[in-house]
Amino acid sequence: MQSSTTSIHEEERLKALKSLDILDSQPEKEYDELTELAAYICDAPIALISLIDKDRQWFKSKIGFDACETEREISFCTHAINQTNEIYEIEDASSHDLFKDNPFVIEKGVKFYAGTPLIHHNGHALGTICVIDYKPKSLTDKQKLALKNLANQVVKLFELRFKNENLREAQRNLKEKNTQLKNFAGVVSHDMKMPLANIIVTIDILKRKYNKVLDEAGFDYLNNLKQSAFKMSDYISNILTHYESDEITEKQSKENIDVHELLEDVIELLDVNDNCDINLPADNIQLKCNKTAIEQILLNLLGNSLKYNDKEKIIVDIDVSEDEHYYYFSVKDNGIGIPKEKQKDIFKLFSTVAEKDRRGQKGNGIGLSTVRKLINNLGGTIDVESEKGVYTKISFSIEKCS
């Protein structure tokens, strides 16, 4: 009767096996395809991907075999893992001194076994890919080579699975941190907006109550303080919108929209003076999309066209078209333009290009980042074309709703 064999590096081998986090995992098609191929190539009724744990052998994949695991001390594979990169072959186990009394031989009628070790990148054998038959036989050299090649593919699958699991864990952690950040942004915006509103109201009260006492410098201080409070409030609102953009695209329903009506509604929300011409698309197409998200995108892009414009007469041209799968939008203005070397950065969070807008205010670099996030969530892309001092054209697409 055989006795269980262990390597002098058994502790390190088991550590390598545990690090893969694959024991007792669910069946996976990729491994089953390799065992099927091993059985076919070696003309054997049974093929296994076996992993050798401390006291058991567990099968990641099995063809022609019912059990999910067996005791290690009666396994053929526990011997095979000591044959580094070599096929461990038993042509007739019933006449083999080590296996003739094995329960699989006596009770199941196993005669033939051939297995090749699955070698971890640190050199330890994790288990085997093996084939079993109920009649004595031997593998040809080509079959042995094929079994070794299959073993290499199994190990590559182990490594790929490990990397994918690590990536999924990193994504889960990132999603959790992002959720925490969203919640934090929501709490901060709520807790800060009310005090800021109180500051703004208090400044107006001070200006009215002490208008006969304050000199010009005093009024300037209060006006600067009020402007700073408005800027902080706007900054908080933009941060909150950025982190709520996923919810906007996921939860808002799709609507049938008249593009001219949509643009007219957006323009009404902007501070448009007589010195500005906003030209709507020549064709008034009908959209079916997330109205809230599109409004947010256009409001930001048109707002930028007005704010970052140094011309006496502001001109903005809007174009909308479609094909079978996408809607295409463009917003072109005759504003300050964007230097070529800065164009690749304008959609990054907190990235700003212009020192100040038309009113002398500095942007916070949140709006265009939010726009890109919304567009990406809608299955589209965004691009910029610009010449400094001449024009800027922002073009984007959104995927049509099915």
Query: Has residue 189 been placed in a domain?
Result: no
Domain boundary among 169, 186, 219: 169
Give me the pLDDT at residue 130, please.
96
Mean pLDDT (10-residue bins), the chain, 402 residues:
61 90 92 96 96 94 93 92 85 93 93 94 91 96 95 93 87 78 68 76 86 86 80 67 61 77 87 84 86 86 88 91 91 89 78 62 68 87 91 91 66
CATH code at 369? 3.30.565.10
Domain boundary among 154, 169, 184: 169
Q: What is the number of domains present in the chain?
A: 2
* Inter-residue contact 51 to 65 (CB < 8 Å): no
Give me the pLDDT at residue 102, please.
93
Length of the chain: 402
Same domain, 138 and 285: no
Same domain, 276 and 146: no
Which H, E and C letters describe the chain, residue by residue? Answer: CCCCCCCCCHHHHHHHHHHCCCCCCCCCHHHHHHHHHHHHHCCCCEEEEEEECCCEEEEEEEECCCCCEEEHHHCCHHHHCCCCCCCEEECCHHHCCCCCCCHHHHHHCCCEEEEEEEECCCCCEEEEEEEEECCCCCCCHHHHHHHHHHHHHHHHHHHHHHHHHHHHHHHHHHHHHHHHHHHHHHHHHHHHHHHHHHHHHHHHHHHHHCCCCCCHHHHHHHHHHHHHHHHHHHHHHHHHHHHHHHHHHHHCCEEEEEHHHHHHHHHHCCCCCCCEEEECCCCCCEEEEEHHHHHHHHHHHHHHHHHCCCCCCEEEEEEEEECCCEEEEEEEECCCCCCHHHHHHCCCCCCCCCCCCCCCCCCCCCHHHHHHHHHHHCCCCEEEEEECCCEEEEEEEEECCC
Give me the pLDDT at residue 27, please.
92
Give me the pLDDT at residue 1, please.
46
Give me the pLDDT at residue 252, please.
57
Domain boundary among 136, 169, 202: 169
Nearest Cα to Cα of residue 156 among 132, 134, 130, 129:
129
Q: Return d(Cα 249, Cα 323) in angstroms, integer.
A: 22
pTM of the model: 0.51
The boundaries of the domain holding residue 284 are 252-402
CA distance readout (Å), 221 to 213, 227, 357: 14, 10, 22
Same domain, 286 and 163: no
Same domain, 287 and 391: yes
Query: Has residue 219 been placed in a domain?
Result: no
Query: Has residue 176 been placed in a domain?
Result: no
Nearest Cα to Cα of residue 53 among 31, 35, 68:
68
